[in-house]
Structure 1
Amino acid sequence: MLERVSLKVASLGGDCYVTFDSAENFYLTGFRSSFGISLVSVRGDSFFITDGRYLERAKKEVRGFKVVKWESWSKLKEFFRENGFKRLVVDPNRLKLSTYRELSSGFEIVEEKGFLNEFRAVKTEREISLITRAVQIAELSLKSVLHLLKPGITELEFRRELLNAFFKFGGEGEAFTTIVASGEGSSIPHWETSRREIKDGDVVVVDFGTVYGGYVSDITRTFLIGNVPSEMKRIYEVVREAQAVGIKALKAGKSCREVDEAVRSYIESKGYGEFFVHSTGHGIGVEVHEAPTLSRKSDEILKKNMVVTVEPGIYIPELGGVRIEDDCLVLEEGAFVISQLDK
């Protein structure tokens, strides 16, 4: 993979790719830290720079990179000059403004948005295995606490029980802030989990995922508690059917836009088009939102071994919402649904 990164640096006329981003650092080095700088040069040599908090562990654990101690910005710039790094390739979406200004002081900057996306989007067998385990742990966790999801428990209490279960079954915590949205709150796709008490007749959306080996899962299930309005039951079936349409549309060579269009058209045909307010899905891996994006604006093409979510939703203000989400492995002739949790 590092050889391919070097070739891309060369194609852009740069001397090295530089990233300070923690997710990209982990992807490149396999080492997790709150501070680090990865450099992959056009010559094929690679460096990982970190401070004293991580230095000794990095020297033992990082492979394929020469580990260098961080001292100061002036020392870093001196290091660039000593190694002949004059043209630095960066992803501007992954840099703080202050960092960008430091790098551009004395060096030529070559900007390439989403520089690592093409590498990260297609997963290796090892990455697929780690994502699969993260999915399995998340599913086991939800099953173990599902009996608690009934009138009287609050959203935050249920989230706490689910988070505890992640650790119990071998997860590394939340992949993102778990959403438990009940009643009218379920009509807000990114509801902030609250102290609201779940009641009879509520729709409850649970959007959750854990981390295993640095890779994430992302699943959503919607539960109908007790005497739910008949329209919400109908909406649930529309979303479930729309998701099946989306999963069936997945296969290598198909455009992400086509998949989104298939799902969106189905929901529109049922009269709920204006209430599907987000994209159909996204890639997952080291981060919970990665390339590709299954949206009407996407120009990306699905490739074998991409892992994407399919998560249609319908959200009716002051009534409630439904979202169903699964993690899917893209194959040559279709897709394998990694998450097997009962809908």
Structure 2
Amino acid sequence: MPMPSTDARCQIIAERIRELGLDGLLVTTAPNRRYLSGFSGSAGTLLVTGGRRELFTDGRYTVQSAQQTQGFGIHIASANPVLRAVEFARDNEIRRIGFDDADVSVNLFRRLEAIEGVELTAAGGLIEELRLTKDEDELALMRRAIKIADEVMALAEESVKPGVTERSVAAMINAAFLEAGADGPGFDTIVAGGRNSALPHHWPSNYAIAPGDPVVVDMGALVDGYHSDITRTFCAGGRTPGFMVVYDIVLAANRAGIRAAVAGTACAAVDASARAVIESAGFAEYFDHGLGHGVGLEIHEGPRLAPGSEAVLESGMVHSIEPGIYLPDWGGIRIEDLVLVNAEHPQTLSQYPR
């Protein structure tokens, strides 16, 4: 069954459509379709107006679309669902239609433009803006995904031992998500040992972890479309003094970033608070990515916590805080937690010990 919040979300979008002088809005991306309707199929288009909600999909989803949505007219299209949605709009005198210009290709736009009787208007970002802050239904799903990731991280730490390959640890993690009740991993699991850990998005290989290796484990669970995201760095065989020198700096940066993630704070300032810790320790050049990103129906959502970002945090946003130091001739350390932004004290959602 769809989440009860889908009705309220559609009402908000309908109001924004009216404010923009539009008669309707085409929704073509999978996360936005699911957010407004509950429909999780891989193909489909929504048409939302002030008074009606329509879902266009294909025959593979005849039953699923009816099971997952409420209040939507279901249309099984033999052709491209987007084309069918625009033809439906034309036939029902829905003239001025907004569309996601970041998703619709030039080729598809030309085909849509050829349909007489409708006017297409770029309106990308309307739903993404609404998705920036999470409602209680979303937070409940994310807490489940986070709890599962915490549980699986405990298994990962137990499995990180000298002689074990990165790939075998990653395979164990992916299987453990399913056994724990998740729909699967939320993204490609990262297990990076030794010098590979200096590569922020390393793909697990057959490298056999050696004693003293830093091992970065970055993973997340998927629960009803919502993601979790957590990173811990272990030292194979036990933490060494050299490992702890770098680890303590990254941990201090992680804590500084979490403290700064308060509603009303500029995203660039949150990044700067953590980055200053690493810079003061002399490792500025070895932290070369942003501090974090929003998480929800997509693993990477806005706004980014990064230098130059003009966005400001709002209560209800869920963000990753993930500073790292990456030394090419040794390895890397990254520590990542998800936090719920509020007006006073950010709530750390990830609970696995750092």
TM range (shorter): over 0.9
Which residue of the partner structure matches residue 11 of structure 2?
Answer: 3
Contact 1:181 1:192 in 2 (8 A): yes
Do 1:313 and 1:321's aligned partners in 2 also have CA atoms closer than 8 Å? yes
Confirm or deny that 1:189 pairs with 2:200: yes
Three-state SS of the structure 1 residue aligned to 2:325 is strand
Question: 1:187 offset after TM fit, Å?
Answer: 0.6
Contact 1:90–1:115 under 8 Å retained in 2: no
Is the Cα–Cα contact under 8 Å of residues 267 and 273 in structure 1 kept in the other structure? yes
Query: Could you tell me how far apart the structure 2 residues matched to 1:76 and 1:336 are?
Result: 42
The unaligned stretches of length 5 or more in structure 2 are: 1-8
* Partner in structure 2 of residue 279 of structure 1: 290
Residue type matched to 1:88 in 2? I
Distance 1:248 1:76 in 2: 46
Residue 75 of structure 1 deviates from its aligned partner by 4.2
Give the structure 2 partner of residue 152 of structure 1: 163
Which region of structure 1 is more displaced relative to structure 2, 254-263 or 202-211? 254-263
- Distance in 2, Cα, partners of 1:13 & 1:87: 8
1:1-343 correspondence to structure 2 within 5 Å: 1-41=9-49, 43-73=50-80, 75-106=84-115, 107-226=118-237, 230-343=241-354
Taking structure 1 as the reference length, what is the TM-score of the superposition?
0.94
Pick closer, same or farther for the CA change 1:125–1:228 going to 2, 3 Å.
closer
Change (3 A) 1:96 1:152: farther
Against the structure 1 CA distance between its residues 197 and 259, is the aligned structure 2 distance closer, same or farther, given a 3 Å change threshold? same
C-alpha RMSD over aligned residues: 1.7
Residue 91 of structure 1: CA displacement?
2.1
Distance 1:118 1:77 in 2: 24
- CA distance in 2: counterparts of 1:101 and 1:265, whole angstroms: 49
**CA distance in 2: counterparts of 1:201 and 1:332, whole angstroms:** 41
Shift of the 112–297 alpha-carbon distance from structure 1 to 2, 3 Å rule, reads farther
Letter matched to residue 25 of structure 2 = Y
SS of the aligned residue for 2:211 comes to coil
Distance 1:218 1:2, change over 3 A: same
Over the matched positions of the two proteins, sequence identity in percent amounts to 37
Kindly state the Cα deviation for residue 113 of structure 1 after the two structures are TM-superposed: 3.8
What letter is aligned with 2:62?
L
Q: CA deviation at 1:230?
A: 4.5
Query: Structure 2: how far apart are the matches of 1:113 and 1:235?
Result: 42
Q: TM-score scaled to structure 2, two decimals?
A: 0.92
- Which structure 1 segments of 5+ residues have no match? none
Q: Distance in 1 between matches of 2:67 and 2:149?
A: 31
Which deviates more from structure 2 when the two are superposed, residues 98-107 or residues 133-142? Answer: 98-107
CA 1:68–1:247 in structure 2 vs 1: closer, same or farther (change >3 Å)?
A: same
Q: Assess, with a 3 A threshold, how the Cα gap between structure 1 residues 97 and 234 changes in structure 2: closer, same or farther.
A: farther
Q: Secondary structure at the match of 1:53?
A: helix
Moved beyond 6 Å, runs of 4+ = none
Q: Counterpart amino acid of 1:25?
A: R
Q: Which one-letter code corresponds to 2:51 in the other structure?
A: G
- Alpha-carbon distance change, 127 to 65 in structure 1, aligned in 2, over 3 angstroms: same
CA distance 1:314–1:145, change in 2 (3 Å): closer
- Contact 2:53 2:72 (8 Å CA) reproduced: yes
Instruction: State the Cα distance separating 1:227 from its structure 2 match.
Output: 7.1
Hey, what's the Cα distance between the residues in 2 that align with 1:200 and 1:224?
8
